[in-house]
Amino acid sequence: MNFTIKTSALQNLTTSCLVLGVFQNKNLPDSTAQVDKALKRQLSKIIDAGDISGTAGQSLLIHNPAGIRAKRIMLVGLGKKNELDRKKYVAALKNTAAALAKYSLADALLTLAELPVKEMDAGKRYQLLAQVLENSTYRYNHTKSTKGKKPALKKVDVSLSDKSERAAARKGLDIGSCVARGMAVAREMGNLPANICTPTYLGEQAQALGKNNRLLKTRVLSEAQMRRMGMGSLLSVGHGSDQESRLIVMEYNGASERTKPNVIVGKGITFDTGGISLKPGNAMDEMKFDMCGAASVLGTMTALCALKPKINVIGVIAAAENMPSGRATKPGDIVTSMSGKTIEVLNTDAEGRLVLCDALTYVERYKPKSVIDIATLTGACIVALGDVNTGLMSNNDDLADKLFHHGQEVVDTCWRLPMSEEYQRQLDSNFADIANIGGPKAGTITAACFLSRFTESYPWAHLDIAGTAWLSGKAKGATGRPVPLLMEYLLSN
Ligand code: BES
Ligand code: MN
Ligand code: ZN
């Protein structure tokens, strides 16, 4: 999708559709001041007639407006002017994208990025406009013989009256568009079925990304290589599967080699049956999404390759398939992790932490500035935070605060849960250094406590995306979260 900044008066711009916001007090935003008086009177009449009241979610299409080059005007409801915050702004953008798609419009001129959004600067307004509009055009088609129609929107012009904001707006548009491209990759990987999207497949996708981008180097470790490094915990998860496990390492080098990297590590369970601790059958198909952490890492690396910022980032994916079989790990089995710590596998369905812990030990070699793992780790996180906030846990207050605030800024929100010392006792084992489950209480936190035993040498945060990575029901599908949050954090470094 192409985003172009337009600084001329709105009535002089040629477009299939000029999109204007309307506040609930029936006022057009100040940003439409450039629209000439006659047109403003025309629009005021339509608004006064009650055809649109300006509440959020509304839209109204006007054909052949007089005195203006645009073929159509679309009015979009914004709600109350003094209540326009980031979330309402994003909702208005989504609503706009849906309305444009409904009329199959291939190009449009948007004025919404000039709206006065609370606590949001110009750069972010343009960034979110590009991200939301571009993300709205994603459709899953890979395994459908009749491909759904792609939204027609190809060319988006965005108005800008304050020319001093031009550089910030351009930068915002570029970031937003690259983030959306990363989200599309994350969504596609998440949505693909587990008989296509295997650990090997994820490795191939990462290799392909490395081939096409000079700044990215990919390495894919085989089971034999992992065995030599002592990754007994990661390997124990894939024991029952006919699919080989993989450790996928992507090194993005946009800065000098001396610059320490930030590391992101994704849980890549391409299907989670639970293993011998077999899951109940209902909605088990959704466990194909158990690699959405990995997908967000691949998506973020894709976004970085498109944007090419001068930073260093390592993306790691711990990929395995969790299956029951005669070779599968059994409850009570004890495995030795790469760190040397022994783990009693009391429940084979708590497999995410088993693959992550070895990946987290592996990344010590980068002497990272920070490490963030992203995982669909616990059902308990859905109980606690629903599909609204990602669970955030950390051994470092500064890192946790940053992630919280970046999440708010790009409306990809997370909420911190406590990881106080007392919870650690729940992981005591009579037979190994640590157990892989901590009982029914505080399941999201004890999962993080398990990981914390392997992350003592660097600032670390854990994002539990069990509730936010995909939607169930009619809109079933991967969301692309938390690519926006990860990008925002990485770009702030
Ligand atoms: N992938 C699941 C967590 C999950 C379940 C995410 C449902 C989203 C929806 C994870 O591997 C798992 O099975 N966790 C267990 C942990 C338990 C055995 C301690 C869980 O949450 O039940
Ligand atoms: Mn599981
Ligand atoms: Zn899982």
Q: Whole-prediction pTM value? A: 0.97
**Ligand 2 center to 379 CA (angstroms):** 9
Nearest to 108 by CA among 116, 117, 98: 98
188 and 149, same structural domain? no
Q: Who contacts 174 (Cβ-Cβ below 8 Å, separation ≥6)? A: 130, 307
Atom of ligand 1 nearest to the CA of 469: 8
Mean local confidence (pLDDT), 390-409: 98
Q: Where are the beta strands (DSSP E) in 143-273?
A: 155-159, 216-221, 246-253, 262-272
478 domain-assigned: yes
102 catalytically annotated: no
Under DSSP, the state recorded for 364 is G
pLDDT per residue as tens digits for the range 308-340? 999 999 999 999 999 999 999 999 999 999 999
Atom of ligand 1 nearest to the CA of 274: 13
CA distance 93 to 469: 21
CA distance 486 to 374: 10
| Run of H or E including 451 | helix 443-452
pLDDT of the residue at 291: 99
Number of neighbours of residue 147 by Cβ within 10 angstroms: 10
Domain membership of residue 288 as a residue range: 181-492
138 and 190, same structural domain? no
Atom of ligand 1 nearest to the CA of 286: 9
CA distance 34 to 161: 8
pLDDT of the residue at 284: 98
252 domain-assigned: yes
CA distance 481 to 414: 11
Domain closes at, from 131, 160, 189: 160
pLDDT confidence bin for 12, thresholds 50/70/90: very high
185 and 155, same structural domain? no
176 domain-assigned: no
287 domain-assigned: yes
pLDDT confidence bin for 41, thresholds 50/70/90: confident
| Strands laid side by side in the 107-110 sheet | 2-6, 155-159, 107-110, 18-22, 72-77, 59-63
Q: Has residue 209 got a pLDDT over 70?
A: yes
**Ligand 1 center to 276 CA (angstroms):** 14
Query: By percentage, how much of the chain surpasses pLDDT 90?
Result: 92
**Ligand 1 center to 127 CA (angstroms):** 34
Domain closes at, from 160, 190, 216: 160
332 domain-assigned: yes
Q: Which residues line ligand 1 (CB under 6 A)?
A: 272, 290, 347, 349-352, 376-380, 382, 437, 443, 466
Q: Who contacts 328 (Cβ-Cβ below 8 Å, separation ≥6)? A: 239, 240, 275, 276, 348
Ligand number, closest to the Cα atom of 440: 1
pLDDT of the residue at 26: 67
210 and 118, same structural domain? no
Structure tokens at 325: 């079989």
**Ligand 3 center to 339 CA (angstroms):** 22
**Ligand 1 center to 439 CA (angstroms):** 13
Catalytic residue selected from 279, 341, 369, 416: 279
268 and 314, same structural domain? yes
CA distance 228 to 338: 10
pLDDT of the residue at 38: 76
- In a 3-state reduction of DSSP, which class is residue 461? strand
Structure tokens at 259: 């610059």
266 and 355, same structural domain? yes
Question: Percentage helix, strand, coil, to 5, in the chain?
Answer: 40, 20, 40
Mutual orientation of helices 292-307 and 199-212 as an angle, nearest 10°? Answer: 0
pLDDT per residue as tens digits for the range 244-297? 999 999 999 999 999 999 999 999 999 999 999 999 999 999 999 999 999 999
Q: Has residue 431 got a pLDDT over 70?
A: yes
Atom of ligand 1 nearest to the CA of 277: 18
395 and 274, same structural domain? yes
Ligand 1, pocket-test mutation among 237, 270, 288, 378, most atoms within 8 A of CB? 378
CA distance 362 to 247: 10
150 and 55, same structural domain? yes
Domain closes at, from 101, 128, 160: 160
End-to-end CA distance of the chain: 27
**Ligand 3 center to 352 CA (angstroms):** 5
Residues 204, 198 contacting (CB under 8 angstroms): no
Q: Has residue 207 got a pLDDT over 90?
A: yes
Least confident of 23-37, 77-91, 344-358: 23-37
Here the CATH number for the domain that contains residue 110 is 3.40.220.10
- Ligand 1 atom 9 nearest Cα: 379
Q: Has residue 119 got a pLDDT over 60?
A: yes
pLDDT of the residue at 35: 67
pLDDT confidence bin for 373, thresholds 50/70/90: very high
pLDDT of the residue at 148: 81
Q: Has residue 33 got a pLDDT over 70?
A: no
Alpha helices in 103-165 (DSSP H): 122-135
124 domain-assigned: yes
151 domain-assigned: yes
Residues near ion ligand 2 (CB < 5 Å) are 272, 349, 351
Q: Is the dihedral of CA 432, 437, 442, 447 positive or negative?
A: positive
Q: Has residue 432 got a pLDDT over 90?
A: yes
Q: Is the dihedral of CA 431, 432, 433, 439 positive or negative?
A: negative
Alpha helices in 281-331 (DSSP H): 292-307
198 and 153, same structural domain? no
CA distance 302 to 216: 9
Here the CATH number for the domain that contains residue 417 is 3.40.630.10
Indicate the number of domains in the chain. 2
191 and 44, same structural domain? no
Number of neighbours of residue 369 by Cβ within 10 angstroms: 16
pLDDT per residue as tens digits for the range 157-206? 999 999 999 999 999 999 999 999 999 999 999 999 999 999 999 999 99
Amino acid found at 474:
K
Q: What is the mean pLDDT of the chain?
A: 96
Residue with tokens 């070779």: 327
225 domain-assigned: yes
Atom of ligand 1 nearest to the CA of 378: 21
pLDDT per residue as tens digits for the range 86-105? 999 999 999 999 999 999 99
Whole-Å CA distances, 369 to 173, 252, 312, 313: 28, 15, 10, 10
**Ligand 3 center to 108 CA (angstroms):** 42
CA distance 329 to 257: 40
Q: Has residue 34 got a pLDDT over 60?
A: no
353 catalytically annotated: yes
Residues 122, 166 contacting (CB under 8 angstroms): no
104 and 154, same structural domain? yes
pLDDT confidence bin for 401, thresholds 50/70/90: very high
Mean local confidence (pLDDT), 342-371: 99
Ligand number, closest to the Cα atom of 376: 1
Atom of ligand 1 nearest to the CA of 376: 6
132 and 59, same structural domain? yes
Asked if omega into 440 is within 30° of 0 (cis), the reply is: no
Catalytic residue selected from 86, 124, 288, 353: 353
Ligand 1, pocket-test mutation among 271, 277, 282, 290, most atoms within 8 A of CB? 290
- In a 3-state reduction of DSSP, which class is residue 266? strand
Query: Which phi and psi (to 5°) does residue 285 adopt?
Result: -50, -30
